[in-house]
């Protein structure tokens, strides 16, 4: 098991600069963000130009990683695979297949994505759509030696009223995903605010053999504020999808998750993948310098728990 970092929050830096920084901060692996070039969201970086990724690109990236003592734990492209616009949905699928091709060229065995949802229609319709269009993507990956994984982020910001926009947010849906051939990218930070015990949920996922990758992000919950706003969060005066008023994401070590228990469960189950820190902490964010410092805090928290490198 290696401690890694998801590069998505470092879109202002090149992959070369991230690779040079990571070992000194305590990281041994990168989950490399591969959104389409030109993506403007802060957490949608394009550190692999997968649309035109060839043998020379694979050789350059491999040499960069080898030079810095790093590996790639996964290629990450988390977008809405069930988008309500068929043309946009097709674009997402084409880019996801390009990510799979790039992973194959690099010898990376995992690609992380979302399931998604059509927020204009009932959930049942999205389930049926997923059962139609996701298995071909799973097969495309499997034929190339890649496991396609879905992260359990609710993506409430994709829904106009803040309801889950990614149908991968609960253990019930993980079992459904597994029937479609998808594995799980487990991120415990998304579970407590949904009322799901992250440890019990991880135990279930490990028993089911569906955990293919792990992301490390923490959460801070204000239960008194939840009493005011309710589980769906702030309504009047809400400024963004994440302005819920009673919880926020933090870097590991600044929230309330029991990382010792989580990592121990992974070891006990024989998990052989990596753990990639995902940075969405508003306290340690806003600038590249603060974001890097937040990632260093996360590494200081988790490094003592990673004993098998």
From 81, 69, 59, 63, select the one nearest 30 (Cα to Cα).
69
Average pLDDT over residues 67-79: 98
**Tens of pLDDT, residues 224-270:** 999 999 998 998 988 887 789 999 999 999 999 999 999 999 999 99
**Tens of pLDDT, residues 205-223:** 999 999 999 999 999 999 9
pLDDT classification of 53: cutoffs 50, 70, 90: very high
| Cα 192 to Cα 255: distance, rounded to the nearest angstrom | 11
Instruction: Note whether 146 and 100 are within 8 A (CB).
Output: yes
Average pLDDT over residues 85-106: 98
Residue 112 has a pLDDT of 98
Question: Which residues touch 33 (CB under 8 Å, ≥6 apart)?
Answer: 6, 7, 8, 11, 44, 45, 46, 47, 48, 76, 77
| Cα 141 to Cα 130: distance, rounded to the nearest angstrom | 16
Count of structural domains, the chain:
1
**Nearest 10 degrees: CA dihedral of 186, 187, 190, 192?**
80
| Cα 160 to Cα 117: distance, rounded to the nearest angstrom | 12
| Cα 216 to Cα 116: distance, rounded to the nearest angstrom | 21
Q: Is the dihedral of CA 233, 219, 216, 57 positive or negative?
A: positive
- Note down the domain range covering 240: 3-305
Residue 243 has a pLDDT of 86
303: tokens are: 């490094």
Instruction: Note whether 142 and 108 are within 8 A (CB).
Output: no
> pTM for this one?
0.95
57: tokens are: 């690109």
Residue 37 has a pLDDT of 87
CATH number for position 44 = 3.20.20.150
CA distances from 6 to 183, 217, 231, 257 (A): 18, 10, 28, 19
Residue 232 has a pLDDT of 87
Residue 121 has what DSSP assignment?
S
Beta strands, E only, 175-265? 183-186, 211-216, 218-221, 247-250
Residue 34 has what DSSP assignment?
B
| Cα 135 to Cα 131: distance, rounded to the nearest angstrom | 7
Residue 125 has a pLDDT of 97
pLDDT classification of 162: cutoffs 50, 70, 90: confident
Residue 42 has a pLDDT of 62
Q: Is the dihedral of CA 222, 42, 114, 83 positive or negative?
A: positive
pLDDT classification of 309: cutoffs 50, 70, 90: low
When the pLDDT of each residue in the chain is averaged and rounded to a whole number, the result is 95
């Amino acid at each position: 098991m290696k401690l890694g970092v998801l590069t998505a929050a470092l879109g202002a830096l090149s992959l070369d600069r991230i690779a040079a920084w990571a070992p000194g901060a305590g990281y041994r692996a990168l989950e490399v963000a591969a959104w389409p070039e030109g993506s403007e969201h802060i957490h949608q970086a394009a550190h692999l130009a997968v649309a035109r990724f060839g043998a020379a690109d694979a050789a350059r990236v491999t040499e960069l990683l080898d030079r810095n003592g790093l590996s790639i734990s996964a290629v990450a492209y988390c977008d809405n695979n069930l988008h309500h616009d068929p043309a946009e949905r097709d674009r997402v699928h084409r880019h996801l297949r390009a990510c799979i091709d790039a992973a194959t060229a690099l010898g990376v065995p995992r690609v992380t994505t979302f399931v998604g949802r059509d927020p204009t229609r009932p959930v049942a319709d999205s389930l049926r759509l997923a059962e139609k269009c996701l298995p071909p993507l799973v097969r495309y990956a499997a034929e190339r030696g890649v496991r396609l994984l879905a992260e359990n982020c609710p993506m409430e910001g994709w829904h106009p009223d803040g309801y889950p926009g990614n149908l991968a947010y609960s253990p019930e849906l993980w079992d459904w995903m597994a029937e479609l051939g998808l594995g799980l990218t487990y991120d415990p930070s998304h579970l407590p605010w949904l009322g799901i015990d992250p440890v019990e949920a991880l135990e279930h996922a490990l028993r089911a053999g569906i955990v293919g990758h792990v992301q490390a992000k923490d959460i801070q919950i204000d239960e008194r504020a939840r009493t005011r706003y309710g589980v769906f969060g702030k309504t009047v005066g809400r400024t963004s999808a994440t302005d819920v008023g009673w919880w926020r994401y933090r870097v590991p070590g600044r929230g309330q998750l029991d990382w010792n228990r989580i990592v121990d469960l992974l070891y006990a189950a024989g998990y052989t993948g990596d753990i990639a820190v995902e940075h969405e902490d508003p306290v340690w964010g806003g600038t590249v310098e603060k974001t890097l410092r937040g990632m260093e805090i996360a590494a200081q928290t988790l490094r003592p728990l990673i004993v098998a490198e």
